[in-house]
């Protein structure tokens, strides 16, 4: 009755055989951008998912597994999820904000798995929604206007701080720093609206 959030997945060459042809994952290992046995980690909001499944009172043992994910299909699928996230998190068109794998225990019935899946997905949606921001909307009011310039100026001058999503919205040039160039970019954006 486990709801196992896999923390570490490995770019393996020693997979356990599956039950159907081809018996081992192809290609093996799947990721040629890193060394064999390179470890990648989940970026799922694990504590929140564990709490949500526990709070649903489904009788599941939800936990974070810090051991290897099993050298079988579960780890292969899990590796692809975190690999995709890590290679697409800076994508300017469709960035990926989270990736991971949940291994459902063999004793979990369909109805319970469905409810736990829904709780996990709701939690994940709440997590990634913090990254769904409008560029330039520094104060998170849904509009880009002079109030965003004032908010950004206050942060640059050290009078206030932004949340992670506000910082993401304010960093108009994507260089990881908030400065006058971001203010100029927001002014230019306002002038085009």
The pLDDT tens digits for 67-106 are: 988 888 889 999 999 999 999 887 766 788 899 999 999 9
83 cis-preceded (ω within 30 degrees of 0): no
Residues 30-65: pLDDT tens digits?
999 999 999 999 999 999 999 999 999 999 999 999
Do residues 30 and 96 share a domain? Answer: yes
27 cis-preceded (ω within 30 degrees of 0): yes
Does residue 193 surpass a pLDDT of 80?
Answer: no
CATH number for position 62 = 3.40.630.20
Euclidean distance between CA atoms 185 and 193, whole angstroms: 13
Euclidean distance between CA atoms 156 and 180, whole angstroms: 8
- Closest by CA position to 75, among listed 33, 113, 37, 115: 37
Total structural domains in the chain?
Answer: 2
Do residues 152 and 77 share a domain? Answer: no
- Give the range of the structural domain holding residue 87, as residue numbers without chain letter: 2-129
Q: Does residue 181 lie in a domain region?
A: yes
pLDDT for res 92: 67
Q: Name the β-bridge partners of 63.
A: 4
Mean pLDDT of all residues in 121-148: 91
Q: Does residue 37 lie in a domain region?
A: yes
**Residue keyed to tokens 């570490």:** 8
Do residues 111 and 156 share a domain? Answer: no
């Amino acid at each position: 009755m486990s709801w196992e959030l896999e923390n570490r997945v490995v770019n393996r060459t020693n997979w356990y055989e599956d039950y159907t042809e081809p018996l081992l994952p192809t290609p093996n290992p799947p990721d040629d951008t890193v060394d064999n046995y390179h470890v990648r980690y989940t970026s799922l909001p694990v504590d929140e998912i564990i709490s949500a499944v526990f709070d649903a009172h489904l009788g599941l043992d939800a936990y974070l597994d810090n051991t290897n994910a099993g050298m079988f299909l579960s780890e292969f699928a899990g590796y692809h999820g975190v690999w995709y996230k890590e290679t697409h998190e800076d994508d300017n068109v469709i960035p990926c904000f989270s990736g991971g794998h949940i291994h459902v225990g063999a004793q979990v019935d369909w109805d319970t798995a469905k409810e736990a899946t829904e709780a996990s997905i709701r939690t994940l949606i709440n997590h990634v929604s913090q990254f769904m921001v409008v560029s330039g909307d520094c104060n998170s009011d849904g509009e880009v206007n002079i109030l965003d310039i004032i908010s950004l100026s206050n942060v640059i001058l050290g009078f206030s701080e932004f949340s992670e999503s506000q910082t993401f919205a304010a960093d108009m040039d994507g260089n990881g720093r908030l400065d006058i160039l971001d203010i100029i970019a927001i002014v230019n954006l306002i002038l085009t609206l």
